[in-house]
Amino acid sequence: MTVDPEQSCAFCGARVIDHDPISVRSHPPATDEPAFYCNYACLSARIEKEGLHLGDACAWKPE
């Protein structure tokens, strides 16, 4: 994966290149560019903050 040195974190706005960047892209993509995060901590924080995990499940059933 190549990361633009100027790419900023979708959660905290820091330059992801200074950390351990990961990118996330939905299918179908909501935008042309994937979202970048410093690391899993920022991705996790954004998911929790915006409730992105609500309503999503994969091979998980409560019963």
Q: Which residues bind Zn ion (CB under 5 A)?
A: 9, 11-12, 14, 38, 42
41 vs 61 by CB, closer to Zn ion: 41
CB of 5 to Zn ion, least distance (A): 15
5 vs 55 by CB, closer to Zn ion: 5
Q: Are 40 and 19 in contact (CB under 8 A)?
A: no
Placement of tokens 């901590």 in the chain: 41
d(CA 7, CA 50): 21
Tokens of 39: 């690391």
Query: Helical H runs in the chain?
Result: 40-50
26 vs 40 by CB, closer to Zn ion: 40
CB of 62 to Zn ion, least distance (A): 32
